Amino acid sequence: MSDDEVGEAQIADVPVTFDHSVVLLDVREDDEWQRGHAEGAQHIPMGDVPARIGEIDVDATLFVVCHAGGRSQRVAQYLARNGYEPINVAGGMLAWAGAGRPVITDGGSAGTV
């Protein structure tokens, strides 16, 4: 693959739980995150990724998600050029919620996408 090519995962192929070895990087804006996100996801808004790239574990299996898949694709391409092997989540959080996966708020209650 070239530096700009990144893998893409359908929602069925994305884990439901995340830990130090598997990261779901949510690159949506703060207001989107606060409305609802996947439990255990790491939140770094798209515009903050270059400044905060050191917070992303280069050794983890890295899934990148946004609302529908466009912003995460661009972030994944950026990360790929910087030594990461990201996987873009096709359909984003819309697909996550559409698959019946839980969406929560920071307080732990049910969230929305």
The active-site residue out of 6, 66, 93, 95 is 66
Which string of b and e fits 98-112 if b means at least 16 CB within 10 Å? eeeeebeeeeeeebe
- Asked if 85 is an active-site residue, the reply is no
Rounded to whole angstroms, the Cα distance separating 87 from 72 reads: 9
Active site residues: 66
